[in-house]
Chains A and B, each alone.
Chain A
Amino acid sequence: MLAERTIENVLNAAIETGGDFAEIFVEDKISNSLNMIGGIVDKAVSGRDFGIGIRIFKGFFSVYAYTNDDSENNLIKVARSAAQAITGQNQDIVFDLRKNIFKNAHEIKIMPNSIGKKQKIQWMRRAHAAAIGYDSVITQTNIAFTDSMQHVLIANTQGVLAEDMRSRNRLAISAMATNVSEKETGFVGPGYFGGLEYMEQLDIEAYAREAARSGKAILNASFAPSGQLPVLIDNGFGGVLFHEACGHGLEATSVAYKTSIFTDRLEEMVASPLVTAYDDGTMVNTWGSLNIDDEGMATQRNLLIENGVLKGYLIDKLGGRRMKMAPTGSGRRESYRYAPTSRMNNTYIAAGQSTPEEMIASIEFGVYAKYMGGGSVNTATGDYNFNVREGYVIRHGKIAEAIKGATLIGNGMDTLQKIDMVGNNLKHEIGMCGSVSGIVPVTVGQPMLRVAKLTVGGRKEDK
C-alpha cells in the first residue's frame, strides 16, 4: 500500500520534535450497499474509502492527523504539522520495520467483489418473498445488503509492520406489520466476518420469517407494565445488557482517566458469583473478530470477570501507558478518520447451569425480554438503558401476553450483582457499537439471564 521507505520517512518526520512513538494507519476500503423496499431495489451505492492516519505520542500526550493524499511529500508534510504540537528534542529513536507475518485465522472463501450485484439482489429478493409471504399483516419489507473489503496497513516506531484484509457482509431484514392504526417492524440482521460463502449457505427464508413473526408479535403486543420487576433476558442479543452495563465501563477509554465506576476495582467482587465474562477477538469468522487490532497487535481472548471478580480491562496502547498495563489487542477504530482506542470485539457472559424452562418457571410475575434493540450507558455513573423490542409478561411461571417498546434501566454494578440465575444456552448476536473511535462491528452474547429486579419503563394508560 505504501513503500517501506516511505513509511520510514513519514514515521521519522513524525518524531522529529521529540515524540516517543509514532504510528501510521493506511486504509483502502471498498464498500457496497444495496437497499430493497417492497421487493424493488431502490438504492445501490458503492465506493472507495481511502486515507492515512498518523499518530504521535509523547508520554500521555497524543496527536492525531489524517489525510486522503498518500503522496510521500504530503504525508511528510502532515506528519511534520502534527509533530508541531510536540515541543522537545528528537529522541533519535531507531527502529527496524519487520513485516509481521501471521496466519489469517478467518478464512475468506468468496471475496465480496467476485460476485455481481445481481446475485446479491437474488438473496435480498428471497428475504423479501419469505417475509411478505409469512402473513397478510406483513405489508412492507426493507432489505439491506452490505459488504466491504477493508485493506489496512499498520506500522509504528516499535518495528511493527502489518497488513490485513478484513471482509464482512450482512443481510438486514425489516418486516413491517400493519393494522388499521398501527405499524410495527420486526428485524433480524445476520452477518459474517469472512466471505460471501456465508450468504450462500445462510437459511435466508428462516431469518426472513423470523423477522415477520416478530413484527406480527409486536403489532399484537400491548404496552409493558411499569415499575421494578424480575426480568428474564433471553440469550443472544440480550448480551447488550452486559455490553452497556459493564463492557463500556471496562474500556481504558474511561478506566485510564478514572472516569469509570470500575476504575481501581481489579480483584474486587463487582458482579454476582454466577457471572463469568470474556471479550474474545479471536472467535473464528465472527462479526467482531480481527486478526490484528487497529494498532497492529494480535487480538486475544480477554477474561473480564471470573465468578463475579473483576479480572481485566480492555486496553489500547495509550490507555495502557496511563494504566501502566499491557494492551489487550483491543485498539479499534471505525476508519482512518479516528484515532484508535480501547473497544470491545466479541463480548459475552459464559454459560451457567440453569435451563431456560426452570428459569421461566421461577418467576411469579415479571418480564421476559426476547428481542432487544440497542442501548447506551453513562460510564461515569454506570447508569445504562436498553430497549426491549419484543417481550412477554411472565405470570405464574408461564409466558403470557406479548409486550412491546419497554426500556429497561439500571446501574451497572448494581444490576450485575442482581443476576441470580444464568442459563446454559449461550448464544452470540451481531451489532454495531458507537463510541469515541467511531462505529465498529461487535458481537454481544449471553445465555438466558434472570435479574432479580430491574426498572421496566412501560406505559400505564391514562384513566
Chain B
Amino acid sequence: MEIKDFQSKLFAKGKKKGFREMETYYSATKSTTVNVLDHEVKNFAITEQRGISFRGIYKEKMGYSYTEKIDETSIELLVAEAMENAESIEMDDKEELYAGADYYESVNQYSQAASNLSPKELIGAAIAMENTALQVSPFVKRVIQCSAVKGEGETIIANTKGLYCTAKYTNLSAGIYLMASDGGQTTTGYESDFTWKEFVAIDSRVIAEKAAQEALSKLGANSIETGNYPIVLRYDTATQLLNAFTSNLSGEVVEKGFSRLQGKLGEKIAGANITILDDPFMEDAPGVAAFDAEGYPTRKNELVQEGILLSFMHNRKTAKNAGRESTGNAAKSSYSASLSVGPHNLYLQPGQTTLSELITETETGIFIVELQGTNAGINAVSGDFSLSAIGFLIENGKLGRPINQITLAGNLYEVLHNIEAIANDLRIKGTVSSPSIKIKSLTVSGK
C-alpha cells in the first residue's frame, strides 16, 4: 500500500472517530552490511524497513500508536490504540500539532554516489582493512569484527494542519575491532569512520592502523596504586562522559524533576572555560537536520556559555510548560517511540592546545583511552560515576607504561568545575562530542 494512500485513509478514519488533529511520522531505511573474517566475507546483510507512527488529539489529549504493517488492517489498530492511549494520559499539556514554518534551513545529507555504492566496493574495503590490520604487527592476532556498511533512509512528517517535512539521507561507514596478544596478555582495539558523501572519504588503511596501534599500545598493562591523580581524557572517553551528562540539559528531564540543573538557568554550573553548543547545521555532522521530530525548524543553540547555564533543550511541549520557545530539539528514537527531547550535534567548544601539549603539561597523571561500563557505572541524576578504565601513566609530561584493571570515579557536576584544559581535537562522530580534556583530579582505584 502506498504511504500517501494509507495516510489519507488513516486521517479519514481518525476524523470519523473524533480526532481533532492528526499527524504521521513515517520512516523508511535500507542498509547493506558486509562483515569480513579470515580474508573472506563472513556474513552479509540486506535490510529494508519502514514504519509509521500516528499521533492525534482525541478528547484534548495526545494519543500515540505505531505499526510496521502498512495495510488496511493496521488503520483500525492505529486509531483504536491511539484513542485508548489518549484516554490514558492524565498530564494536562494542552498540546497542539505544529502547522509548519515558512522557512527551513537547507541541509545536505544525501548523496547519490553513496546510494549507488555496490556491495563489491564494501567487500573490497572490508577485506583491505582486515589485511592492513594483520600486517601492522605479528602481535595483532585476530580480527573480531571488520565491517563496512551502506545505509540510506527517508523521513516524512505530515499532519492535518498542513505540515509537510521530508528528508533523505545516506550514510557510509567502516569499522574494525581486533585483538592483539604478546603470549601472556590479550588487548583489543577499535576504530571506525563514516561519511554521507563518497566512499573514498573513508580511508580503510588509516582505520585499520589506528585500531591495531590502539591494541598494541595496551600490551603489557597492569594496575596502579589507588589514589587521586590528574586525568587526561582522550576525546572519545571525554565524549562518553559528556554524553551521560547531556540528559540533564533536556527540558523533559528537567520538567520531571530528574535533573539537578532544574531552576539553575542563568547560574554558573561549570568553569568559565566551558561552553556547550548544539549545532544542527555543521557540515558532515551525523546529526545534521533542518527540522526536528515534530517538524519544528532547528537552530544553533548555546546551552552553556562560559560556565553559565543559558538554556535547556526543548520540544514544543516542554518549551510551553517552561514558558519558553521550542529549541527544535524534539526527538524520536524510532517510529515506535513517543516524542521526547534530544540533541542533534551537541559539543563542548574546543580550546587552543593540542592533545600532546595537554600531556606535556602534566607532571604526573593518567591518560585515559578507554572507559567501560557506561551503561551502568554512571548515575546521570546524581552525576556520580565509577567506570572501568584503560590508559597510560604520564610521568614528567611523557606517556609511560599502559595501565589496566583500574576504575575512575568522580562526579560529572564536579568535573565541569575542574577542567583545567581543553584540547583542539574535537571529532564529530555522533550526536554528542567532546575534545580531549584535562581534569584536575579523579579517584583511581587499583592495587
Contact = CB atoms under 8 A, between A and B. Distances in A.
A81 B46 contact: yes
A200 to B, nearest CB: 19
Interface string B110-145: 000000000100000000000000000000001010
A383 B405 contact: yes
B7 interface: no
B91 A66 contact: no
Interface string A375-397: 11010111111110000000000
Nearest to A29: B68
Interface of B: 37, 40-51, 53, 63-70, 74, 77-78, 81, 84-91, 119, 142, 144, 179, 185-188, 223, 226-228, 256-258, 260, 336-338, 372-373, 375-377, 379, 381-382, 384-388, 404-410, 441, 443-447
A380 B74 CA distance: 45
A118 B41 CA distance: 52
Contacts of A228: 447
Contacts of B50: 68
A417 B196 CA distance: 49
Given A387-B373, A407-B377, A460-B228, A45 B186 contact: no
A34 interface: yes
A68 B446 CA distance: 50
B84 A117 contact: yes
Interface string A149-183: 00000000000000000000000000010000011
Task: Identify which of A45, A65, A373, A381 gathers the most chain B CB atoms within 10 Å of its CB.
Answer: A45
Given A41-B89, A43-B89, A407-B388, 19 more contacts: A44-B86, A45-B338, A46-B64, A51-B49, A66-B48, A68-B68, A78-B48, A85-B119, A176-B258, A223-B384, A374-B376, A376-B372, A376-B375, A405-B379, A406-B409, A409-B388, A409-B406, A455-B223, A459-B443
Interface in A406-437: 406-407, 409-411, 434
B379 to A, nearest CB: 6
A457 B407 contact: yes
Interface residues of A, number: 84
B447 A46 contact: no
Q: Sort A-B residue pairs by CB-CB distance and give the 5 closest, nearest first.
A: A457-B407, A47-B66, A374-B376, A44-B85, A385-B388
Contact of B186 (A44, A68, A85, A380): A380
Given A46-B65, A457-B387, A65 B91 contact: no
A50 B404 CA distance: 44
A292 to B, nearest CB: 23
A227 interface: yes
B377 A68 contact: no
B257 A139 contact: yes
B375 A374 contact: yes
B186 A381 contact: yes
Contact of A456 (B43, B48, B68, B445): B445
A409 B405 contact: yes
B267 to A, nearest CB: 14
